[in-house]
Each structure stands twice: as C-alpha cells, then as structure tokens.
Amino acid sequence: MFSNVPEETLYYGADFDSTGQRLDGAHAYSVTFAPGQTPPVQGFWSLTLYNQEHFFAPNELNRFSLGTKNKTLQSNPDGSLTIHVQQASPGADKESNWLPAPEGPFSLYIRAYQPGEAAVTGAWVPPPIVMKP
C-alpha cells in the first residue's frame, strides 16, 4: 500500500451540497469555477463522480469525470467554468460540461495532481456544489 503526500496529490471530497443536503441523482447540481479559479495544479485535475459504493457510476456517456484532460469543456462568457452534475442531459449546448449522475446518493471528488502552492496551503478552496432550482 502507498499513499500520496499532499505535494503530489490532493483530493477534495463532498457528499453534501452547499446547503448541507446529501448529493442525490434525484436533483441537478452545478459546480462553477470562477474565472482563473480551476484547481491550481502543475499536473492535472478532475471532478470525479462516485456512486454510493464509491465506484464509478455507469452512464450513457461512459463519463466518470471532467477536468483538464477534457479538451471540449466550454467556458462561460465571463471565463468561468460550470460543470453540470445531473441524471438527464442539461441540453446539447451544455453536454460537453455534463457529468452524468446515477439514481440515488453519490459523491463528488476534485482530484488535484501535482497541486500548486495555493492548493497545498489551503489558499485555494473548491467552489460550492449548488442544487439547481
């Protein structure tokens, strides 16, 4: 067994949205990184979804995470980046930023590889997970 040290990898896990409600596929969520505020890494980052057993949740896109390695992510006009976490497609124009959610409870993790100083020191914090109306 081995474990990564914070200078190599950081994981930010969440089971609850910004209001303290358990993340659940019955709802739709958004995670919006302000302009220039995606995870500060020298390697790569991802927002990864795990089902309630902490395995990848099968979905129609066979997509389990979004982040640096996804070259089709679309930024908002103001430069922010919104990821849509929900069961149903958010629409063809937003599908590149869609992280499909399963039925039932799930967890979200930001995985930051070779994190920058702001992440290691805690100066950077993940954005809130907001339930859509």
Burial of 5 (0-12, 13-18, 19+ CB in 10 A): exposed
Per residue in 25-55, pLDDT (tens digit) is 999 999 999 999 999 999 999 999 999 999 9
pLDDT of residue 21: 98
State the number of CA atoms in the 13 A half-sphere of 104 facing the CB. Answer: 7
pLDDT of residue 124: 97
Contact (CB, 8 A) for 82 and 32? yes
pLDDT of residue 79: 98
88: its two tokens: 């149903």
pLDDT at 1 over 80: no
Kindly state the greatest CA–CA separation across the chain. 44
Domains of the chain: 9-131 (2.60.120.1600)
Over the chain, what is the mean pLDDT? 95
The whole-model pTM stands at 0.94
